[in-house]
């Protein structure tokens, strides 16, 4: 999944989504949110293909949300979709013969990955996959009427994701001190570098 063209579509959509939410435009917000997810999971790698997928997702969500209570239904389903997409994004790289996602990012950052670091990053990729699947299960229970309220779950999802992300950086610095300090900026640069290297030429 190429990152750069997805950001070219998803960042403007994010701005429009925030504006629509602030303006109380529920139907537009639901459509833009679906388009945002469509942009991130589009199978195409070109800007045009990603934009087309986002447009189809947005149109589908708008059609679904046009009835009474429709926007609320779309927003209720978005956390489930988001967690499943993230679980797929991490988990698909654990297939035999593939390179785990976080191993790829680490290689882009350091140039080489030791055997111990490869094991660590494989397990970390698996843990992130399970993390998102776990929250997807909670989201599904909520949609079925048997889970906690969606608002607190979404907030907990975001807070625990941030805590996991930052906490893992601290653990990695302790376990692999030779890697140097790990922070958000360095991680984002590694992700971008991995995307460029993967699709160079």
pLDDT score for 95? 93
pLDDT score for 197? 66
pLDDT score for 150? 76
Answer whether residue 91 shows pLDDT above 70.
yes
CA dist., res. 136 & res. 57, Å (int): 20
CA dist., res. 184 & res. 201, Å (int): 28
pTM over 0.85: no
The separation between CA 142 and the C-alpha centre of its own chain, rounded to angstroms, equals 20
Mean model confidence pLDDT for the chain: 86
Selected residue with higher pLDDT from 76 and 133: 133
Opening angle at CA 100, ends 141 and 4, nearest 5: 85
pLDDT score for 199? 53
Give per-residue pLDDT as tens, 107-162: 888 888 899 999 999 999 999 999 999 999 999 998 888 878 877 888 898 899 99
Selected residue with higher pLDDT from 125 and 180: 125
CA dist., res. 147 & res. 141, Å (int): 5
How much of the chain, in percent, has pLDDT values that exceed 90?
Answer: 30
pLDDT score for 3? 67
Answer whether residue 200 shows pLDDT above 70.
no
Q: Which two tokens stand for residue 72?
A: 């609320």
Confidence of residue 201 (pLDDT cuts 50, 70, 90): very low
């Amino acid at each position: 999944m190429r990152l750069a063209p997805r950001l070219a579509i998803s960042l403007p959509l994010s701005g429009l989504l925030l504006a629509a939410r602030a303006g109380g435009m529920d139907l537009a917000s639901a459509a833009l949110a679906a388009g945002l997810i469509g942009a991130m999971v589009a199978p195409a790698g070109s800007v045009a293909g990603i934009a087309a997928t986002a447009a189809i997702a947005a149109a589908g969500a708008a059609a679904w949300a046009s009835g009474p209570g429709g926007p609320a239904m779309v927003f209720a389903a978005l956390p489930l979709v988001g967690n499943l997409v993230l679980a797929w994004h991490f988990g698909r790289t654990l297939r035999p013969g593939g390179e785990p996602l976080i191993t790829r990012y680490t290689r882009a950052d350091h140039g080489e990955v030791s055997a111990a670091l490869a094991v660590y990053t494989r397990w970390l990729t698996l843990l992130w996959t399970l993390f998102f699947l776990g929250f997807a299960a909670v989201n599904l229970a909520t949609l079925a009427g048997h889970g906690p309220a969606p608002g607190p779950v979404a907030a907990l999802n975001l807070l625990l994701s941030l805590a996991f992300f930052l906490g893992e950086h601290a653990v990695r610095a302790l376990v692999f001190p030779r890697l140097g300090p790990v922070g958000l900026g360095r991680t984002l640069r590694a992700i971008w570098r991995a995307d460029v290297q993967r699709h160079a030429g």
